[in-house]
């Protein structure tokens, strides 16, 4: 029994050895799946109370008032802090600040806060938000695009406390929310942002 390869088998091996093209989105799904696994591990641990810098906590002022704020934000595609139109047309970029809306939920007696995440990405064909609140599962939080402004939005009902999240643009670009503080504990070397949700 020998490992000697004759010409035919050598041709077979030569044909089988080249590495395949890797689909970036498939690799992204691996990291998202592993991040979800990590999140589940953390969920199994006792909860740790985290403090919330005041400037990132927006107290609830009522659903009606917040809806007005959201409507205003969605109709304000341009602010002085936004990039030039040329840059914005080619790439996702910062948008209006994310608005936090108040609501109540009877789920387990915990009052959830309605939080709106916004990303300006006029050239993107798909944007999803992943975070500890959806087990880093991008399939559970697609964002909606406003065709006029190029703003992508998602409204989430979140528990009060600290959340880490990121955006996945076109299944291939992982980016943090440019308008929120960067998370120091970025999962798997991928940048994330911190969202602090206050109690109503």
Interface residue list for another protein (CB under 8 A):
1, 3, 5-6, 8-9, 11-13, 15-31, 33-34, 37-38, 83, 87, 89-94, 122-123, 125, 168-169, 172-176, 178, 182, 187-191
Backbone angles phi, psi at 89, to 5 degrees: -70, -25
Q: Which of residues 16 and 106 has its CB atom nearest to another protein in the complex?
A: 16
Q: Which of residues 111 and 170 has its CB atom nearest to another protein in the complex?
A: 170
Q: How far is the CB of 141 from another protein (least distance, A)?
A: 17
Q: How far is the CB of 80 from another protein (least distance, A)?
A: 15
Q: How far is the CB of 36 from another protein (least distance, A)?
A: 8
Query: How many C-beta neighbours within 10 Å does residue 7 have?
Result: 7
Q: Which of residues 109 and 147 has its CB atom nearest to another protein in the complex?
A: 147
Asked if 114 and 156 count as a contact pair (C-beta separation under 8 A), the reply is yes
Q: Which of residues 73 and 166 has its CB atom nearest to another protein in the complex?
A: 166
Q: Which of residues 163 and 176 has its CB atom nearest to another protein in the complex?
A: 176
Query: How many C-beta neighbours within 10 Å does residue 10 have?
Result: 11
Q: How far is the CB of 116 from another protein (least distance, A)?
A: 19
Q: What DSSP letter does each residue of 59-127 carry, written as one string? A: ----HHHHHHHHHHHHT----TTSPPHHHHHHS-B--SPPPEEE----GGGPPPEEEEEEEE-TT-S-E
Q: How far is the CB of 83 from another protein (least distance, A)?
A: 8
Alpha-carbon distances, residue 64 vs 59, 69, 131, 155 (angstroms) = 14, 9, 27, 15
Asked if 98 and 180 count as a contact pair (C-beta separation under 8 A), the reply is yes
């Amino acid at each position: 029994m020998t490992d000697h390869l004759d010409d035919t088998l050598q041709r077979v091996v030569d044909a089988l050895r080249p590495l395949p093209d890797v689909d970036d989105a498939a690799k992204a799904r691996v990291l998202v799946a592993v991040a979800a696994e990590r999140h589940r591990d953390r969920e199994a641990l006792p909860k740790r109370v985290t403090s919330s810098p005041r400037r990132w906590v927006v107290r609830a002022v009522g659903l009606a008032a917040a809806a007005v704020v959201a409507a205003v934000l969605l109709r304000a595609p341009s602010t002085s802090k936004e990039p030039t139109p040329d840059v914005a047309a080619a790439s996702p970029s910062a948008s209006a600040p994310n608005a936090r809306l108040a609501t109540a939920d009877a789920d387990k007696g915990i009052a959830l806060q309605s939080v709106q995440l916004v990303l300006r990405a006029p050239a993107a064909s798909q944007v999803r938000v992943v975070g500890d609140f959806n087990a880093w599962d991008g399939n559970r939080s697609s964002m909606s695009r406003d065709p006029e402004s190029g703003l992508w939005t998602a409204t989430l009902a979140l528990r009060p406390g600290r959340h880490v999240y990121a955006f996945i643009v076109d299944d291939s670009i992982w980016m943090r929310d440019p308008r929120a503080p960067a998370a120091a504990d970025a999962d798997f070397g991928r940048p994330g942002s911190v969202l602090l949700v206050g109690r109503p």
